[in-house]
Amino acid sequence: MMESIGMAGLLALGLSILGVMVLRAPAIALGLVDQPGGRKVHARPVPLIGGVAVLLAFGLATLLLPIPLRPYGALYAGLAVIAVSGLVDDAIGLPASLRLLAQLVMATLVVVAGGPVLTDLGSFPGLGMIGLGFLAMPVTVIAIVGFVNSLNMMDGADGLAGGAAVVILSGLSVAAALAGDTRVPALALTLAAAVLGFLVFNLRTPWRRRATVFLGDGGSLALGFAVIWLAIETAMLPGRVISPLGIAWLLAVPVVETLNLIIRRLLRGQSPFHPDREHLHHILSRAGFTIGQTTSIIIALITALGATGLTASAVGVADGWLWLGLFGFGGVHFIFTERGWRSVLALQRLRNWRIADPDRARVTGIPLSPLRQSMAVIGFYLLVATLPFGLNTAMLGLAMVIGAVVVPGTRFIHTLIREPLAWAVMAAAAWIAIRMVGEGAAPLALWHCLALSGLAALPLGWWLASSPRHVPGGALVLTVSLVVTAAIASVSPDGTAGVEDVVLAGPDRLLLLAMPLPLCVALLARQLQRAGRGWLRAGPLAALALIAAAGLVAALLGASTPLIPDGLRSDAMAMLQRTGWPGLILLALVFVLLLRPLVPLYRSGVWPRYAVLALGLLAVLVLAAVTVSQPLEGVEGGLVLTLGLAVLCMGAIQYRRIR
C-alpha cells in the first residue's frame, strides 16, 4: 500500500510541475493572468493556472492508488465544477453573491449525492456528545462553503494557501491512519504531493524571489473543497482516534481568520464580501516581515496548532479542553486583527527593538553573531516549550544556548573576569564538584547541586541579558505548554494516572507552574498604569494576565504534591548534607549577588518598575523552592531551577553593566 501511495505521490509531483510548465504560456496568451494593481503587490502579470495543474496531476495520479474511486465520484465532480467556475471568475469576474450561491448549490448537491456528512461535533462539558441530527446536512453544507472560502481568502501571500493545504492534508493522513483507514491517507498524500509541485513555482525561496504562477480562484476554491471533504470524512471515520475537535485544530487558522473577518466587517456595518487589508498576512507584511517570512510564520502556526490538537486528542484529552483552546485562539486572533494597526506597531517594535537611551543601551551589551544568535534562540524556545513535558529535548535546548554563548569568539569570557557573580558561581561549582566527585556521588545528585550553584544558568542569563525581549516570549511559550500539559493530565480522574511519561510532575512541576506568575503580575500592573488611557487600550491584556494568573494559582493549589514537605527536606538541606557548610555559604553568596541588584534597578529607572517587580517575585519563588519546598527531582528539576536562576542572572549582569 505504501509503495503504491509513494508512486502516486511521485507521479502527482512530476505531473504538477510539468503541468505548470506546459500551461503557463497558453495562459498568458489567453489572458488568464492576474494583473498587478490595486491591493495586489506583484509587479507583473502572473498566470492563474496553478490550480488546473494541481487538479489534473491529482486526478491522473489517483488512478495508481489501490483504493476504490467510485465512492469519490462526487468529490471529482465537485472539483471539476468548482475549477471551471473559478476559471470563469478569473477570466471575466463574477459577483460575490453569485459565486456564493453557486457554491451553496454545489455543496448541497455533493452532500446529497453521497458526500461525507458531519453528524457530530464531539462532546462539550455538561452537554455530552453534540449530535447534529436533522441539522447534519445543513451544517455540512455550511462547513464546506465556509472552508472553501477560508482557504481562498488565505491565498494572499505567495505559497500560503498551498503550504497551509499541505500541512492540513498531512495531518489528516495521520489522523485517518490512526483510525485504520487507508483511503483518506492515500488521497490526502497524493493531493499534497501535487500541491508541492505547484509550490515549486509559487513559494518564495532563496532561488526564487517571486511567484511565477498563482492557484487562481478556481484552484484555491477547489483545493479548499478537497481538503474539507477529506477533513469531514476523517472526523467521521467509524474507528476514529482523533475527535472532530482535534481535526478542528488543524483547520483553526483559516476558519478563525474567516469568521473574525466576517464579524469584524459586520460590526463596522460593511458587507462580509468587502475587501480590506486586515488579514493576518497583511498585518505581518505591514509589520516589516517579508512575504516569505509571513508565509513561514502562518504555516508554522497552522502546524503548531494542528500538532497540538491531534496529539491532545490522540492521548485522550477531553473535548472541553479543545473547545476552550479554540475559543481562546479565536479571541486572541480577533483582538490581534481588530486592532490591526496597534498589532503592526507592536510587531515593529518587537522586530526593531533598539534601546536609544545610552544607559539602556549599555545593559544589553554586544549581541552574538547572527548564526550563534539563531542557535541560542532555537535552543531557548526548545527548552521552555518541551520542559513541561519532561522531554530530553529540553536539555538539548539548554546545551544549544550554552554552546552558542561559550564557544570562542563571544564576550562571555569577559563576564567571567569582571563579574563578582561569575566568580561566586565558579567557586561554588568547583567546591561542589571536588567534594561530591571525591565522595563518589551519583551523577544526578551532582547535576542538581551544580544547577543550584548557577553554573548552567550563568551563560543562559548572559544571553538573556543581551536579548531581553525573549524573556516575555519564553514565558508565553512556557505558559502555553503548561496549559497543554494540564489538558493532557486531565485524561485521568486524578489528573496524573497514566500520564507520568507525558508531562512533568512532582515539585518540579510546582516550580514551573509558579514561574509565569511574576510576569502575569507585572503585565497586570503595567496595564493598570495605562488604564487612564482607556479601557480598550489596557483592558484586554489585563484580563488575559488575570485569567492566566488565576489558572496558574488554581493549578498550584490543586496539585497532588504538597507545597511544603513535612520534614526538613529541601534543596538547601541536601546541599548542606552533600557539600558541608562551605558549599552552603558559597550558595548563599551566589543568592546575595543575585538579589543585590533589585533595589538599585528599581531606583535607577533603567528597568520599568513592573519588570523589577516581576524579577523580585521570581526571586521569592526560587528562594522558597530552594529553602522550604520539596527537593526538585530528576534531570528536569535541575533544568527548572536553571531557568529561574538564569532570569535572576540576567538582572545581575545588566545591573553590573550600568554601574
Distance between first and last Cα of the chain: 68
Query: Nearest CA to 219 among 88, 82, 22, 58?
Result: 82
Please report, as a single letter, which amino acid is at residue 232. Answer: I
Collect all residues with Cβ–Cβ distance below 8 Å to 288 and sequence separation of at least 6: 347, 348, 351, 352
Residue 589 is inside which H or E element, if any? helix 571-595
* Separation between Cα atoms, residue 298 and residue 451, nearest integer Å: 37
Q: Are 347 and 283 in contact (CB under 8 A)?
A: yes
* Separation between Cα atoms, residue 450 and residue 428, nearest integer Å: 8
Dump strand ranges (E) for 591-632. none
The C-alpha cell at 401 is 544556548
DSSP 328-348: HHHHHHHHHHHTHHHHHHHHH
DSSP 2-45: HHHHHHHHHHHHHHHHHHHHHHHHHHHHHT-EE---TT---SS-
* Separation between Cα atoms, residue 425 and residue 445, nearest integer Å: 18
Q: Are 570 and 630 in contact (CB under 8 A)?
A: yes
Q: Where are the alpha helices (DSSP H) in 71-215?
A: 73-92, 96-112, 136-153, 160-178, 183-202
* Separation between Cα atoms, residue 398 and residue 381, nearest integer Å: 9
Collect all residues with Cβ–Cβ distance below 8 Å to 126 and sequence separation of at least 6: none
How far, rounded to the nearest angstrom, does the alpha carbon of residue 511 sit from its chain's CA centroid?
23
* Separation between Cα atoms, residue 294 and residue 289, nearest integer Å: 6
* Separation between Cα atoms, residue 320 and residue 121, nearest integer Å: 11
Q: Is 217 annotated as a binding residue?
A: yes
229: left (phi over 0), alpha (psi -120 to 50) or beta: alpha
The dihedrals phi and psi of 68, each to the nearest 5 degrees, come to: -70, 130
DSSP 481-500: HHHHHHHHHTTSTTS-TT-T
The dihedral sign for the CA sequence 481, 483, 484, 489: positive
DSSP 248-278: HHHTHHHHHHHHHHHHHHHHTT--TT---S-
The C-alpha cell at 486 is 494540564
* Separation between Cα atoms, residue 217 and residue 92, nearest integer Å: 12
Q: Are 215 and 155 in contact (CB under 8 A)?
A: yes
Burial of 98 (0-12, 13-18, 19+ CB in 10 A): exposed
The C-alpha cell at 514 is 509558579
Query: Nearest CA to 53 among 7, 94, 99, 87?
Result: 87
* Separation between Cα atoms, residue 422 and residue 593, nearest integer Å: 10
Residue 128 is inside which H or E element, if any? strand 128-131
3-state secondary structure of 372: helix
* Numbered residues of the known binding site for Mg(2+): 152, 217
* Numbered residues of the known binding site: 152, 217
